[in-house]
Structure 1
């Protein structure tokens, strides 16, 4: 961590001396993924990373929670070293609480979740450490965590957006909960959330949201450049179709999509999908924790024209 503090100090010193922005100064100290020097040019792209990581499902297992969070921090460090300005993690990156482990009727029957069983002290501490590291690395971080809402018996299943200054900038709560999540575990969210990084705007989707195209059309209307989707596959057969679904959303809305899933052999790829529906970068399909890194850009020859045409057509046909 000392090395990263020294990097930030050097970057800020150059920015103060030259009058450059922090990002412009940073380009003099980082390299491209191939090891070449960062090119001197106005910023027209944004480098992002999507991670696949180990997902554990026991929120009472303090050692397991710490191990998951330590892996998240390692992948954050890898993303920063690759020059990424943003890194995005899967649903359950710290823990994807099991409906059986928390069930009042468990461990063999699903029932109302007893959230007092969760080790909240460890969960909160590890989240704080992730937030602090985002500031040390100067990297925006999108991380899934359970959020306890004041006055509510049930928490939200959430995505936290942590700024490169080490502060929580936004929070998105999963809206389209599964039957089990809605009946026994969580309080649903109610609104879309967007945030901006270096002039690029992103929307957020979590869990079952990935199966609802209308949410992705909504983000198109909010003028996002991309949507970051965090999805826990749960090992259930058929859920691999999520990769096909989100590729369709990317192409249908002419924007980028980041898909973060667990590091499981045979699971849908984690990676970044371009605005034509093609994979721009993908993690290996071998179940090993890793990141995929790519440069997001605006396709001025297709994106705006396609969006404008769709909007005019929707208005004409009343949808």
Structure 2
């Protein structure tokens, strides 16, 4: 059995300025490391919340190369942590379209996992309108990473609404959820969906949201949190920049699964 591991969710209010966002991420990674975090999670679009959807095309990188990926690798080494890097735009080979990609870096600076967001957000209500498919291509495969012996299911934002994705991962110890949930949908559904994914998969969920009013006028829900396998919220930050700290306890996972063996009772 793995030993307990301290994890951190780094809530941001990212801007249209890449360098400014990387400076904020660097400060928060350092803060979390000093608090004892072994793994840190950044939010979706941590590196850029542009004035328009197409702004992300200008900073897209080839997988394995580029200043954003080098920054993440360097921070993992300097802080001696695993970094689950929210999302950044990775080139797809299709003009005008990129992948919205989560990368995992180990303390040696090696990229150990890549997940391309599968489900692309589309929402229209009143003056709010979003359609990620205008500039994004969807991924196709679930990904489970290994972090110090913990099985980490990778997912991003809108994926949260599709429980079949997590069933396809098999048994995991932790689901990570970097997101930029809108204020409207977050207020209605964020916490209940996080708790549902934790309960039905009997694992921890670490959510990392963008959390506030951005320079482009968009308001994100925030409420970065750690939910335990019983569905209890152990720590949460409602709005603003900051660190949500918590601990993954393998004994807690085993206790829940042994006392209520729902995963073993699956029929379909």
Does the alignment reach a TM-score above 0.5? yes
- Secondary structure at the residue paired with 1:301? helix
Counterpart selection for 2:70 from 112, 119, 128: 128
Task: Please tell me whether residue 49 in structure 1 is matched to residue 2 in structure 2.
Answer: no
| RMSD of aligned residue pairs (Cα, Å) | 2.3
Aligned to 1:234: 182
Shift of 1:207: 2.2
Counterpart selection for 2:44 from 91, 99, 112: 91
Aligned to 1:74: 27
Please give the alpha-carbon distance, in whole angstroms, between the structure 2 residues aligned to 1:97 and 1:172: 22
TM-score, with length taken from structure 2: 0.84
Q: Which runs of 5+ in 2 are unaligned?
A: 123-130, 214-219
Aligned to 1:289: 241
Contact 1:160–1:170, Cα closer than 8 Å, also in 2: yes
Counterpart selection for 2:105 from 144, 157, 162: 162
Task: Please tell me whether residue 277 in structure 1 is matched to residue 231 in structure 2.
Answer: yes
- Secondary structure at the residue paired with 2:30? helix
- Structure having the higher Rg: 1
Q: Which has the higher contact order (CA 8 A, sep 6+)?
A: 2
Contact 1:89–1:260, Cα closer than 8 Å, also in 2: yes
Judged with a 3 Å threshold, the aligned counterparts in structure 2 of structure 1 residues 232 and 101 are, in CA distance, closer, same or farther, namely closer
Judged with a 3 Å threshold, the aligned counterparts in structure 2 of structure 1 residues 246 and 129 are, in CA distance, closer, same or farther, namely same
Shift of 1:119: 4.2
Please give the alpha-carbon distance, in whole angstroms, between the structure 1 residues aligned to 2:60 and 2:91: 10
Aligned to 1:15: none
Please give the alpha-carbon distance, in whole angstroms, between the structure 2 residues aligned to 1:311 and 1:176: 28
- Higher share in strand: 2
TM-score, with length taken from structure 1: 0.71
Aligned residue pair count: 246
Judged with a 3 Å threshold, the aligned counterparts in structure 2 of structure 1 residues 124 and 239 are, in CA distance, closer, same or farther, namely same
Shift of 1:43: 6.1
User: Per-residue CA shift, 1:75-116, capped at 9, x if unaligned?
Assistant: 111111111110001111111345x352xxxxxxxxxx893x
Shift of 1:230: 0.9
Please give the alpha-carbon distance, in whole angstroms, between the structure 1 residues aligned to 2:210 and 2:117: 17
Shift of 1:232: 0.3
Task: Please tell me whether residue 248 in structure 1 is matched to residue 196 in structure 2.
Answer: yes
Aligned to 1:193: 143
Counterpart selection for 1:310 from 257, 263, 266: 263
Once superposed, which parts of structure 1, at least 4 consecutive aligned residues long, lie more than 6 Å away? Answer: none
- Secondary structure at the residue paired with 1:311? coil
Counterpart selection for 2:84 from 142, 149, 152: 142
- Higher share in helix: 1
Contact 1:135–1:167, Cα closer than 8 Å, also in 2: no
Please give the alpha-carbon distance, in whole angstroms, between the structure 2 residues aligned to 1:114 and 1:74: 23
